[in-house]
Amino acid sequence: MCLGIALHSEYNVPDEVKKAGFQICPDELGSIVEGHDVKKLKVHGGVNGIADKLSTSTTNGLTATEESLNHRQNIYGVNKFTESQVRSFWVFVWEALQDMTLIILAVCACISLFVGIATEGWPKGAHDGLGIVASILLVVFVTATSDYRQSLQFKDLDKEKKKISVQVTRDGFRQKISIYDLLPGDLAHLAIGDQVPADGLFMSGFSLLINESSLTGESEPVNVNADNPFLLSGTKVQDGSCKMLVTTVGMRSQWGKLMATLSEGGDDETPLQVKLNGVATIIGKIGLVFAVVTFAVLAEGLIKHKFQEGSYLSWSADDALELLEYFAVGVTIVVVAVPEGLPLAVTLSLAFAMKKMMNDRALVRHLAACETMGSATSICSDKTGTLTTNHMTLVKACICGNINEVNNHEEIKDVCSQVPDVALKVLLQSIFYNTGGEVVINQAGKLEILGTPTETALLEFGLLLGGDFQVARQETKIVKVEPFNSEKKRMGVVLQLPGGGYRAHCKGASEIILAACDKVLDSAVDFFSYYLSNLLTYQVMARSSPMDKHTLVKHLRTMFNEVVAVTGDGTNDAPALHEADIGLAMGIAGTEVVSLIMQVFNEISCREMEKIDVFHGILENYVFTAVITCTIIFQFIIVQFLGDFANTTPLTLYQWFACVFIGFLGMPISAAIKMVPVGCK
């Protein structure tokens, strides 16, 4: 009692909260729910005390007047997450311009335009510079257009997924509102399959099990009741139903804080970009050295000639133009040394890869993600929902003394033929009545099984045996139900049979059920021999928190210089997906936060990354090679045979030597591309 008084005296309600008519601030509410602080909850009078301090009725809910709702929003915020601003097309253009090769070419284009116009005049002197500018713009707009179109598709996809309604009690009436209109103090009603829309406290309910695997990675459901009343946003109701008091919404909720961590950091260069930028820089430096040497030699010849004539102190306009021509030669060497066609070849290959992946039902957020997938040297994969589907199925059944495999429809038909009709009816009765799950018809008109993975597997087996859940539930009256809980590890149901008498069905953990039996069939099986023999094949980090996964990926990238690919499906995988070089999210069991930060959204298939050989496309880009080859052939024909018509002259021996030498400078690029996978090392 004294402890409660001491704690209560330490908490002071902020003035702005008092003026709005409330007795508890949002930070205090967040600390109670997020920290699962039972002591602090008791100090505030429990769940009912929190409801009183939020000025809400535990039976009628909020008073939904516009003025009161506005006051509540001003103090506690709205149930929306801070979203990144929609980037315009020109932002993608600016990002595409950051390529090192394009930057070098842009500098050379400016110099070429200035020198060309100064020496040869307009427009003849601007041909080379404008040609370089055109190639730069082509690469930039192809890349920017691809990324911008994908961003719009992701925006539309995200908008559709966020159209969620929540059932609440306001002004004494049960009604549906948008999840964005939910406020602290609302009484939200949750049933099997619903996602918890905000942080809150359990008020009343029946056999409530919460699946927190999307937030914590733990597949074991959490039993939420009056003793453990804490509900976290982003989790899912796996069994039971409840009425919850909303306490924290938006960015103050557990999910909101996790979303906030995703805004940190920026885009890193992909491994291929790093290597190509390095090659372009080296080639640029080599070309610059030769350009400086060439300019120095030519300028030295002019100065020497001026000394011999004795006119080294008198410089005319013709001498200045001659120096500019020498400078133009140097710039030309730098321009031809930098492979201006390479960025276009890379961009086209990545664009074709993106189109191929979209045909395979994979939505790519960033064009460069196609390349990074082929560069991965370490793959970190989540288990629950990724390697496993987080969905159980029945594979073996012992019925009437017969042990049968039940992996497909043919085997299930064999079971039905072996089991007498009376026994099959009792089995279906046990499956459909002694369960906490439910078979419903969803909005699409299809059967949907709701419940824990175990209950779902049993109900699915019952349906495959030919049973009808709705019909079976109407045939017999339920007398008593003993719900399952983690302490008893069993559940049971007593039925009143139509012909008189009663029948009890029981199921649960093997050690509990077998201990209650007089006689059992014993058959020892070594379940773990296979797993133990293969344990050292994998490196497993068990029961890891979201930040543990984030730390692992971060250290793999920084300390070991690995190119890391992360696969995941839940909110708990979001920090690791954000930190990784490439994030692949599986849309089958995923949550919204994963598709927000991943580079590739995998809806159904396309997990076979080896099919997308981007590097092969870059190395053997037949379209690009054909265009270049045709250009060279036409240039050769024009120079050699149509010189008078086109006003051209054949290349001299010196010019041929320069072309061959510059060709050798491009060989390191092809060598770099052939290094597959292209890791950071």
pLDDT of 336 reads 64
Q: Is the pLDDT of residue 486 over 70?
A: no
Region 153-180: mean pLDDT is 75
pLDDT of 211 reads 84
pLDDT of 164 reads 74
Where along the chain do the CATH 2.70.150.10 domains lie? Answer: 2-80+165-261
Considering only the top CATH level, what class is 346-389+535-617? alpha beta
pLDDT of 596 reads 43
- CATH architecture for the domain at 402-515: 3-Layer(aba) Sandwich (3.40)
The per-residue DSSP string of 324-390 comes to: HHHHHHHHHHHHHHS-THHHHHHHHHHHHHHHHHHHTTEEESSTTHHHHHTT-SEEEE-IIIIIS-S
Lowest-confidence pick of 475-489, 491-505, 628-642: 628-642
Residues 394-449 have pLDDT tens digits of 888 888 877 888 877 788 888 888 888 888 888 889 988 888 777 877 656 778 78
Among 469, 467, 430, 466, CA closest to 449: 469
Where along the chain do the CATH 3.40.50.1000 domains lie? Answer: 346-389+535-617
Region 175-193: mean pLDDT is 86
pLDDT confidence band for 97 (50 / 70 / 90): confident
pLDDT confidence band for 248 (50 / 70 / 90): very high
Q: Which fold has domain 2-80+165-261?
A: 2.70.150
- Tokens for 289? 């050295």
Residues 451-476 have pLDDT tens digits of 777 888 888 888 888 888 888 888 88
Q: Is the pLDDT of residue 605 over 50?
A: no
Catalytic residues: 382
pLDDT, mean over the chain: 73
Tell me how far apart the alpha carbons of residues 583 and 566 are, in angstroms, rounded to a whole number: 5
More confident residue, 58 or 127: 58
Q: Is the pLDDT of residue 648 over 70?
A: no
Between the CA of residue 184 and those of 65, 227, 244, 249, 400, what are the distances in Å? 15, 21, 11, 7, 55
Where along the chain do the CATH 3.40.1110.10 domains lie? Answer: 402-515
Lowest-confidence pick of 113-117, 211-215, 483-487: 483-487
pLDDT confidence band for 186 (50 / 70 / 90): very high
pLDDT of 34 reads 85
Region 474-488: mean pLDDT is 77
pLDDT of 1 reads 35
Residue percentage of the chain with pLDDT more than 90: 6
